[in-house]
Every structure is written in C-alpha cells, then in structure tokens.
Amino acid sequence: MKTDISDLRGDFPILDQLVNDEPLTYLDNAATAQKPNQVVAALTHFYQTDNANVHRGVHTLAERATVAYEDARHKVTHFINAAEPAEVIFTKGATDSLNLIASTYGEANIEAGDEIVISIMEHHSNLIPWQQLVLRKHATLKYIELTPTGELDMADADTKITDKTKIVAVAHASNVMGTVNPIVALTKMAHQHGAIMVCDGAQAVPHMPVDVQALDVDFYAFSGHKMMAPTGIGVLYGKRDLLAAMPPYQFGGEMINFVHRYESTWNELPWKFEAGTQNIAGAVGLGAAIDYLENLGMSNVQAHEQQLVNSLLPQLTADHQIEVYGPNDPVRHTGVIAFNIKGLHPHDVATALDMEGVAVRAGHHCAQPLMETLGLVATARASLYIYNTQDDVDRLIHALNETKEFFSHELIKAE
Amino acid sequence: MSLSKLNSLYREVILDHADHPHHKHALTDATTTMTVKNPTCGDVINLDIDLNEDDVITNIGFTGEGCTISQSSASMMSDAVLGKTKDDALKMAKTFSDMVMGKQHYQADLDELDDAAILSSIVSFPARIKCATLSWWALQRALLSNQQEESDGEA
C-alpha cells in the first residue's frame, strides 16, 4: 500500500509549479480534482492502443474497447458496492445523473399534489431538476432546514417527509459547509413513507468509503472529475427494479433492442440509459482513478483529509477575524471549508490568496438558496484532497494572515 | 511577499472609494432605475439616475453589495458621469470597457473618466474584470432604458 504523501505528489506534475512566483497550493478540489499520471496514462494508452466504438463491431479493437469500457463499469460497481454492473449507468456527471432521474422516474411517477423533499444545502444540480419537475407537474417542493451548526435538522426532516412525499433528494456531503448528512436515517424515513431516496454523492465518493447497498439509497449520483478522473464522465447508480421500470432518458443508438418503422424496444440495463456513443475514454479514465484510490484505500484517503481538517479548521475558527460556515467539529466535517474574512469580500480575498499561489473558490458555490438562508452573498471556500499536505494548510493560513494585514494596512492608510 | 503585487490593483484611491463610497444611496422617484447582478459571485448593483429634459444626468445613486472592486468602481463611475449628458456617459462607458478589456483607447477619453481610469490595472487581473464593469454595465442598461432586471451573463 502506497500512503506516503511526498511520494504521492510526484504523481501530480501539475502541482509542481509556481503561480504568481509562489508554489501552487491547490485548494479548489471541491470544484475539480487534479489528475495523476496513472489516469492520464490510461487515457493515452486507450487512445493509442484500443480506441474503437463499443458494442458495435466484431473486429479486435471494438472488442478491446468494449472490454475496457465494461471493465470500468465493473470497477465502479465494486467501488460503491452496487449489487451488479447493470445498476451502474455512465453519464456526463452528477448533474446529468440527477437530471436523468428527474426526467425519467420523475416524469413517470410525480403527479399533481405529490411532494418532493430536498434540503436547503443542495447544490443547484440537486435542486433545479426537482424545482422544474414540480412546476411541470403542479407538485410541491419542500426544504429540510439547517440547525444553527449547519447540519440537517432531522426533526424538520421528520415533519417534511410525509405520506405525500414521493422523492427525497439530499447531498451525501455539502459542497459548501463540508457537512456529512445522515443518509441512512433519511433513507429509512423516506422508505417508511413510501418515497424513494436520491443521494447526490458528488462531494462524498471521492473522499470516503461509500457503500450504496449499506446506505440503501434508491439512486446515487456522482462525477468522475472530482475523484481525479477526466471531466465529462459520471455515474448514476440505481436499484435494478426502479431502473427497469423507468422510461429511457434519451433515444438513439446503443439504447435500443429492435427498431421498426413505427415502434422500438429498448436495450437491457444499463445500456437502456446510454444512448449514442458514450465517453468511452472517460470511463476508462474513471476506472484508472478508482484503481488509484483503491490502491490508497478510501479509509486512508478519509483519514488523511481528516488529519488536515483537524489542523486547519480549529485555526480558522479560533481567528476572530474569520467567520467559518458549517460544523465547527472537525470530526463531522469533510475537507470542504467555507469562510470569510470579516469585512472583506471573498473575491478580494481569493485574488489576494492567488497572489500567494493559493487557489480557493470564491462565490455562491452553485448553492444560492443556501447562501440566502445563511444571509450571505458569497464565501471563500478551501477544499482539500489526498495530495494536499500540512504544508498547504500552513501556506493557506500564512496567506490569510498576509491578506488581513494587507487590507487593514491599506484601509488605515486610506483614511 | 507577493502581495506587493496587489498594490497595483488595490490602489489607495480604490480602497478609499470602497471604504467611503460616493453616491451610495437610493434616489426617490428616479427617472431611471436598473438592477444588474453578477451571477458568478452574487454581486448586485441597483442604480438610480435622474435625467432632465436635456438628457443630462442631474443625480445618481447606487445601492447593493459587492467586493472592493465593484463597490469602488460604482462610486467612481457615479462621480464621473454626474452632470454629463446621456451620450457622453455612454461614450465613457465604452471607453471604460475598452480600457479594462485591454482594447485600444485614447488618453483624452481616459481623462474624462476621472478616478475611474485608475482601474486600468484590472487588465492584469482578468478574473476581476467583471467586478469593475458591473456598475458601468448598469449605467449602459439604464441609459438605454431597458428597465427590466437583468443578469450579467457575458464577459
């Protein structure tokens, strides 16, 4: 097992560069993760050796490409502990996966008067598909609110999820506050009322062990690019019975069985939901990223990030000039931390940090209803991954101190 | 100490305008009002303008939230266009836009912008150009009398 972090950084040449004359400190992993050499090499190998279209030919390359593509599906199946590969559908990413559910299961099952329950901490990708679905169907969208510490209010969830609820859709981990949500408990609640449970795992799968059967969720969505795979590949997991009963998402090649002039029949799972030529190389890259993560061990990945959060979060919360949003307890926190320097706009902070080589996100993080609820326009957000080190944490803290000093000095001078 | 580079952006004048913005208030019964948003960061500028019968800007005020750059830019823009005709103000908006985009412009036109010309340094901070242009964009929309709420969807 390879767990030496200094060893790991060599797999990511992009990290070894100067940005604004300072060593790059990449802390925007919740937006997208960097890709190790192993993933890039897998893409190169596929394109240089095996490239062909899948499931469509009898020639050798077509067979090799098909094996590579379906091998990636097997890796995903094992990685999230799906019951079988038929339950793993390749998509463009978590957004595409969630839209797929809303457009197929949602269209077929939601009727006027039905209710869909989501949480106020959802990313727009797990909010707008449901918002638009209820508008089309004259159904109702309800929000589970937050506790003062930025966690889901489970008492509120208990009142919002009722026998009228048909779908509950909640993020496994918040892309803003780093909160980890109690998916098992929510799923039980949903099932008790006959609703299905949809989980947005975009911020969880890259960072912690995920077992979809243990969670007992009905659907689970995530993106490849946040777990070091290429952009444009993602996964929708769904329970076989539900997937089998759902109408197709898109129509075209691959997803059909027989096509006649005036009617068609659909391919079996999972290909029923994979119309047209898929992102074959992307799937191969995702398989390589999963190999990389499994080689490290997801428990080790989680422990490494936890160690960095244990250092970073208390330093931020102890600073009276900094406001942190979300749980203050490092143990209940992923490596995603939203904060502001009091009196400074996060865009100004992010520009200053960038001058120190530190890359963070600033903005509303595609969670405008959450920002509104927190009474904020925007925040800065630092997010960690496996190749980050204590050095990166120290550089962020140093750069924040420099930023505070720069602006306080300049503001005093200006008066 | 690479924050020294920030001095070229956060000049004293800019920080002063951000800290003590001029014309930061709503106008009652303004002849034209415009709200623009930058959806990428959530910044909002509400701009109120009084135009008289000769199309001269006789009063201007803004409210809203935003970063140092967007707030100071709104303050400097308001200073610069107050008392100007609609056509002159639109020309200044064009000059400002050309300046921050690094396009060709004339020094004489820059001089018209007063303090706002200092934001030419934003060229070195491409991620922040939208912050600087938000209020000027509100001005353009207001003067062209497109009175509905709009989002800044383009760079």
CATH number, position A371: 3.90.1150.10
Whether A413 is in a domain gets the answer no
Q: Is the reported ipTM for this assembly greater than 0.90?
A: no
pLDDT at A76: 98
Gap between the Cα atoms of B56 and B32, Å rounded: 12
Whether A135 is in a domain gets the answer yes
Q: Of A259, A294, A329, which residue is a domain's last?
A: A294
Chain A residues within an 8 Å CB radius of B65 = 377
Whether A366 is in a domain gets the answer yes
pLDDT at A2: 53
Q: Of A294, A323, A349, which residue is a domain's last?
A: A294
Query: Do residues A141 and A288 both lie within one domain?
Result: yes
pLDDT at B40: 77
pLDDT at A3: 56
Does the pLDDT at position A75 exceed 70?
yes
A–B: how many Cβ contacts below 8 A? 73
Residue of higher predicted confidence among A104 and B146 = A104
Residue of higher predicted confidence among B109 and A339 = A339
The pLDDT confidence band at residue B75, using thresholds 50, 70 and 90, is: very high
Mean pLDDT of A18-39: 97
Q: Of A242, A267, A294, which residue is a domain's last?
A: A294
pLDDT for B33-51, tens place per residue?
A: 999 988 777 789 999 999 9
The pLDDT confidence band at residue B102, using thresholds 50, 70 and 90, is: confident
Gap between the Cα atoms of B70 and B129, Å rounded: 9
Query: Do residues A189 and A207 both lie within one domain?
Result: yes
Q: Is residue A366 annotated as a catalytic residue, yes or no?
A: yes
pLDDT for A371-395, tens place per residue?
A: 999 999 899 999 999 999 999 999 9
Across the interface, whether the CB atoms of A20 and B2 are under 8 A apart is answered: yes
Query: Do residues A111 and A249 both lie within one domain?
Result: yes
Chain B residues within an 8 Å CB radius of A356 = 2-3
Query: Do residues A260 and A133 both lie within one domain?
Result: yes
As given in the structure block, the two tokens for residue A283 are: 């799937």
Mean pLDDT of chain B: 87
Mean pLDDT of A76-93: 98
Does the pLDDT at position A146 exceed 70?
yes
Residue of higher predicted confidence among B13 and A230 = A230
Domains defined along chain B, listed by start? 2-151 (3.90.1010.10)
Query: Do residues A275 and A197 both lie within one domain?
Result: yes
Among B2, B40, B67, select the one facing A356 at the smallest CB separation.
B2
Gap between the Cα atoms of A121 and B90, Å rounded: 41
pLDDT for A345-358, tens place per residue?
A: 999 999 999 999 99
Across the interface, whether the CB atoms of B40 and A363 are under 8 A apart is answered: yes
Query: Do residues A71 and A172 both lie within one domain?
Result: yes
Beta-carbon contacts of residue B32 (< 8 Å; ≥ 6 apart) = B48, B49, B50, B51, B142, B143, B145, B147
Residue of higher predicted confidence among B19 and B78 = B78
Whether A411 is in a domain gets the answer no
Range of the structural domain that residue A358 is part of: 5-27+297-403
Across the interface, whether the CB atoms of B19 and A357 are under 8 A apart is answered: no
Asked if B8 is an interface residue toward chain A (Cβ–Cβ < 8 A), one would say: no
Does the pLDDT at position A254 exceed 90?
no
Beta-carbon contacts of residue A372 (< 8 Å; ≥ 6 apart) = none
pLDDT for A328-341, tens place per residue?
A: 888 889 999 999 99
Query: Do residues A74 and A17 both lie within one domain?
Result: no
Residue of A nearest to B18 (CA): A411
pLDDT at A32: 98
Q: A221: distance to nearest CA of chain B, Å?
A: 24
Gap between the Cα atoms of A206 and A334, Å rounded: 11
Q: A388: distance to nearest CA of chain B, Å?
A: 22
CATH number, position A192: 3.40.640.10
Does the pLDDT at position A319 exceed 90?
yes
Q: A6: distance to nearest CA of chain B, Å?
A: 26
Query: Do residues A189 and A234 both lie within one domain?
Result: yes
CB-hemisphere CA count at 13 Å for A268? 4
The pLDDT confidence band at residue A154, using thresholds 50, 70 and 90, is: very high
pLDDT for A193-220, tens place per residue?
A: 999 999 999 999 999 999 999 999 999 9
pLDDT at A114: 98
Mean pLDDT of chain A: 95
The pLDDT confidence band at residue A171, using thresholds 50, 70 and 90, is: very high
Across the interface, whether the CB atoms of B41 and A362 are under 8 A apart is answered: yes
Classify each residue of A207-218 as buried b or exposed e, where b means 16 or more C-beta atoms within 10 Å of its C-beta: bbebebeebebb
Residue of higher predicted confidence among A395 and B104 = A395
Q: B131: distance to nearest CA of chain A, Å?
A: 9
Does the pLDDT at position A168 exceed 50?
yes
pLDDT at B111: 87
pLDDT for A96-114, tens place per residue?
A: 999 999 999 999 999 999 9
pLDDT at A5: 61
**How many helices and strands, by DSSP H and E, does chain A display?**
15, 17
